[in-house]
Structure 1
Amino acid sequence: MAATMSGKISNKLNVADLLSQHANAKKDGCLVVSNGAINWFFYLEESQLVYATYSADPLDLLDNHLRRLSRQVPSLNSEVRTQVRINFNDDSSDQICPDYQAISWLVRTNQLKPAEAATLVEGIVIEILESYLLVSEGTFKFLPKSAHLPVYAKQTIPPLVQKCQKRLNAWQALGPMVWSPHQRLYFAEQSPGAAKLSPSKVQQLQKILRGFSFRHLGVLLNLDELQLAQNLNSLIVDKVILLQDPQPPFNQLPRLAVGAVNSTSQASGAQSDSDAALGSIGSSEIGQKSYTIACVDDSPAILNTINRYLQDQNVSVVMISDPVKALIQIMRAKPDLILLDVGMPWVDGYELCRLIRKNSQFKKIPVVMVTGNTGLIDRAKAKVAGATDYLTKPFTQADLQKMVFRHLT
């Protein structure tokens, strides 16, 4: 695909103007903007925006929006969302991004109506534009249309930019502690502010504030992430809630240009706002259901690490070190999620996954391959064996918790 136009972005070239200029040129294709770490993709047709995405885990982006939409479209259940990740995890196509391919597949297989796909697209576009408008320097190129792109929504760019800029201003008004929707929230139980909370509020915060980002937490609580951040901001300022940096690759997205905290507006209604957020937490199912995770690995050190990482996460970890006996132990445990090491003696992870899938009670249970290999051959082998996902070694606690969030919440 040849680029018809390319260039550099500097402070003299506003990224919103750049997008509008390419739309006004009335050329169908894809504007690709890069800040060196992340690529943004804007698909244009007849001067309007058809879709937008970025390279920072687009399937995670899609999964979050499918979760939101599943409240109105119950058929978008965990099994369907898992199938999306299996089918479109290979983003080797240079013409249509994997998340848009997945949306088209959902429509073709009658799991989404075109109108529902339009709603999905509109929500994703807003999220992408919010991050894009923070880009201050980088490069861009325009790729002419060379593949058929099913169209579910066409949006005029200026109103979208205005809406996103208004949201960005609201994010920036939260103050210097909040600089990304992907920051992760933790409850500081020993903080002086926490001591002032009632026991019921402490219990509510303990349930949910375990490293979910504003974005993920908003999905779980069915709240807009900006509204959630506004509601919890008084607790953030009081250091009852601690914020940690986003997980990769979201830590490479541009940061908000934060401003000073408006203490007057913050104090007014802060208690009722945080009470509203706590009420959402209390009424949610998160933290109320306990899950069982079976981990199969011939390394006791890895098993102990997984067990330690998942402490206080409302999960029970069944550690299995003998792959030969693993199938029987898994059948006894009836887990909600299975983690399989690939490189085990006697029976490797691929073979064990095939054996698990032959049992009817485990047809729909997520199976995650834990591997040090991320090549296409290993992904293909995992897919053929029936694996749902893969976790690459070495992994962090945040990596493991994200995997659990993806498949069990």
Structure 2
Amino acid sequence: MQGKLSEIDIRSILQLLELGQRTGELFVEAYPMQLGNSALDRASKLHEGQFWFVFVFNGQIVYAANADTSLSRLTDYLRRYDAEANLRSLTVPSIAAINAPEYGYLWALMENRSLSPAQGRSIIQSMVHETLFDLLSLHQGAFIFESGPPLSPQLTTLETAPLVAKIMKQVQEWKQLHPQIQSPAQCPVIADRVTLQATLSERTFQTLDRYADGKTSIRQFARYLNRDIVIVARAIYPYVQKGIIHLTHAFPDESNALTGVKSRPREFGLWQEARIPRIVCIDDGAAIRETVESILNQHGYEATGIGNPLKALGLVFQLKPDLILCDIAMPDLDGYEVCAMLRKSTAFRQIPIVMLTGKDGFIDRVRAKMVGATDYLTKPFGEGELLMLVEKYVGSGDPQRRQTESFLADSLADELESDKTNATSSPSAPFG
């Protein structure tokens, strides 16, 4: 099941999944909205290009999240129980490679008794509420539901209909706060401390003073205080109206909360990132996956092999690879179908996708190009061939060479920007 949100909304999709007692994973991608109001444009920009996942078991919701892999949301929720420090001491749990990383780490915390099952259920319920709040606010986007085995292990299931009804009411109440408050990602900052302190009790003022720093979002307020986000927004609404509290937009980067690695944007068609190049290999053959992983990891890349093409469609949004290697002959979905589905997403329109296959016929190559494949590598291939192809699209795996390439890319970007500025400021050349 797949389609666009202009044809069927999220509420109806969830109701259909519940009625059909479906089990699997719902993926949703947000499209940017074309709005005339500049303030609303900025609020809409926060959702542009984002992805969400909803795991369903017999029509009930098990877990839901966006595609952020930084674990920042989990860290925020752990503050309720003074358990955020325990997250840093964890080794990557095996479940994190199969399911959403956040879910895997949450289970690991319960297994080592940093959290009780009741606390874990409370966090998952809050995560589901938060994710559905965003989804039920969407109007532009696309979705695909993939039937499959249930998310495992399961800690809780939530009945879909009453949950959706409750959150729809939240969304309607939230809209009443427009235009003063537009997005849960807006960050309050105190503009008039004297007036605010005179108006509030000392305890309330200290709470606001602690978090209203222009960096902590309304959503984070709700997480830290374990409160409904609409209640938090309503509490600050009168002070926003009077100009005592201002709201800023802090657009999130893609920093990793555990490693501290911060990614950088694409500029001038060059992939400029401080992190290790990440490659995903989708192939149902274990030997090929293990060979690709071994070669690339030895040469400084971060390689992940995925054997199930249906599962791969969800994991690639979480892994955010710089290059995808994809076999053609696979069960359930072949490589052509996987490539075509990924190319429908704005996040993967520019990511290199290279077909790995034993076929080398002209028709196969043409079909690969038609579905959007970037290149084609015939099996069996040698180590040199693989490394040459990967380096062609994502650069070297050697850290020193990456640093040099990044420096050169920055220098080129500066030169191009300088040329553009000079061209704008200089008189027009004759003949146009």
Question: Where on the TM-score scale, by shorter chain, does this alignment land: which range?
Answer: 0.5 to 0.7
Q: Could you say if the C-alpha distance between residues 198 and 47 of structure 1 is closer, same or farther in structure 2, counting changes exceeding 3 Å?
A: closer
Tell me which of 78, 83, 88 is aligned to 1:82.
88
Counterpart of 1:158, as a letter, is A
**Any residues of structure 2 matched to 1:297-316 within 5 Å, and which?**
none
In 2, Cα distance between equivalents of 1:247 and 1:119: 27
Counterpart of 2:171, as a letter, is L
Counterpart of 2:78, as a letter, is L
CA contact 1:22–1:31 (8 Å) conserved in 2: no
Deviates more, 1:224-233 or 1:200-209: 200-209
In structure 2, the residue corresponding to 1:80 is in which secondary structure?
Answer: helix
Residues 1:33 and 2:45 are matched in the alignment: no
CA contact 1:57–1:249 (8 Å) conserved in 2: no
Q: CA deviation digits over 1:318-367, x for unaligned, max 9?
A: xxxxxxxxxxxxxxxxxxxxxxxxxxxxxxxxxxxxxxxxxxxxxxxx98
Tell me which of 76, 100, 103 is aligned to 2:103.
100
In 1, Cα distance between equivalents of 2:163 and 2:204: 39
Q: Could you say if the C-alpha distance between residues 22 and 197 of structure 1 is closer, same or farther in structure 2, counting changes exceeding 3 Å?
A: closer
**How far is the alpha carbon of 1:109 from its aligned partner?**
2.4
1:181 matched to which residue of 2? Answer: 184
In 2, Cα distance between equivalents of 1:96 and 1:181: 26
In 2, Cα distance between equivalents of 1:206 and 1:9: 40
Q: CA deviation digits over 1:117-165, x for unaligned, max 9?
A: 2222111111111000011122111222247511111111110011111
**How far is the alpha carbon of 1:22 from its aligned partner?**
2.1
In 1, Cα distance between equivalents of 2:134 and 2:189: 23
Deviates more, 1:107-116 or 1:161-170: 107-116
2:418 matched to which residue of 1? Answer: none
Deviates more, 1:198-207 or 1:176-185: 198-207
In structure 2, the residue corresponding to 1:210 is in which secondary structure?
Answer: coil
In 2, Cα distance between equivalents of 1:100 and 1:241: 35
In 1, Cα distance between equivalents of 2:123 and 2:209: 32
Residues 1:49 and 2:49 are matched in the alignment: no
**How far is the alpha carbon of 1:114 from its aligned partner?**
3.0
CA contact 2:52–2:67 (8 Å) conserved in 1: yes
In structure 2, the residue corresponding to 1:18 is in which secondary structure?
Answer: helix
Counterpart of 2:141, as a letter, is G
1:330 matched to which residue of 2? Answer: none
Counterpart of 1:240, as a letter, is I
In structure 1, the residue corresponding to 2:89 is in which secondary structure?
Answer: helix
Counterpart of 1:25, as a letter, is G
CA contact 2:76–2:84 (8 Å) conserved in 1: no
In 2, Cα distance between equivalents of 1:224 and 1:82: 28
2:309 matched to which residue of 1? Answer: none
CA contact 1:96–1:147 (8 Å) conserved in 2: no
Counting matched residue pairs gives 253
In structure 2, the residue corresponding to 1:66 is in which secondary structure?
Answer: helix
Counterpart of 2:126, as a letter, is G
Q: Could you say if the C-alpha distance between residues 25 and 188 of structure 1 is closer, same or farther in structure 2, counting changes exceeding 3 Å?
A: same
In structure 2, the residue corresponding to 1:167 is in which secondary structure?
Answer: helix
1:18 matched to which residue of 2? Answer: 13
Q: Could you say if the C-alpha distance between residues 7 and 80 of structure 1 is closer, same or farther in structure 2, counting changes exceeding 3 Å?
A: same
2:217 matched to which residue of 1? Answer: 213
Could you say which structure has the larger radius of gyration?
A: 2
**Any residues of structure 2 matched to 1:133-144 within 5 Å, and which?**
133-144=136-147
Q: Could you say if the C-alpha distance between residues 368 and 201 of structure 1 is closer, same or farther in structure 2, counting changes exceeding 3 Å?
A: same
Q: Could you say if the C-alpha distance between residues 206 and 113 of structure 1 is closer, same or farther in structure 2, counting changes exceeding 3 Å?
A: closer
Stretches of structure 2 that go unaligned for 5 or more consecutive residues are: 32-48, 264-272, 279-296, 303-405, 407-432
After superposition, the CA RMSD in angstroms is 3.8
Stretches of structure 1 that go unaligned for 5 or more consecutive residues are: 71-75, 251-365, 381-392, 394-409
**Any residues of structure 2 matched to 1:354-365 within 5 Å, and which?**
none
1:116 matched to which residue of 2? Answer: 119
**How far is the alpha carbon of 1:184 from its aligned partner?**
0.5
In structure 2, the residue corresponding to 1:87 is in which secondary structure?
Answer: coil
Q: Could you say if the C-alpha distance between residues 57 and 24 of structure 1 is closer, same or farther in structure 2, counting changes exceeding 3 Å?
A: same
Q: Could you say if the C-alpha distance between residues 145 and 245 of structure 1 is closer, same or farther in structure 2, counting changes exceeding 3 Å?
A: same
Q: Could you say if the C-alpha distance between residues 206 and 19 of structure 1 is closer, same or farther in structure 2, counting changes exceeding 3 Å?
A: closer
Counterpart of 2:79, as a letter, is R
2:73 matched to which residue of 1? Answer: 61
In structure 1, the residue corresponding to 2:252 is in which secondary structure?
Answer: coil
**How far is the alpha carbon of 1:196 from its aligned partner?**
7.4
In 2, Cα distance between equivalents of 1:65 and 1:195: 28
1:403 matched to which residue of 2? Answer: none
Q: Could you say if the C-alpha distance between residues 195 and 107 of structure 1 is closer, same or farther in structure 2, counting changes exceeding 3 Å?
A: closer
Counterpart of 1:51, as a letter, is Y
**Any residues of structure 2 matched to 1:6-405 within 5 Å, and which?**
6-10=2-6, 12-36=7-31, 37-57=49-69, 59-68=71-80, 70=81, 77-83=83-89, 87=92, 93=97, 95-146=98-149, 149-189=152-192, 204=206, 206-211=209-214, 212-248=216-252, 368=260, 373-375=274-276
Counterpart of 2:74, as a letter, is L
In 1, Cα distance between equivalents of 2:164 and 2:151: 26
CA contact 1:56–1:249 (8 Å) conserved in 2: no
Counterpart of 2:218, as a letter, is F
Q: Could you say if the C-alpha distance between residues 194 and 155 of structure 1 is closer, same or farther in structure 2, counting changes exceeding 3 Å?
A: closer
CA contact 2:50–2:66 (8 Å) conserved in 1: yes
In 2, Cα distance between equivalents of 1:96 and 1:77: 22
**How far is the alpha carbon of 1:190 from its aligned partner?**
8.6
In 1, Cα distance between equivalents of 2:29 and 2:165: 22
Q: Could you say if the C-alpha distance between residues 96 and 231 of structure 1 is closer, same or farther in structure 2, counting changes exceeding 3 Å?
A: same
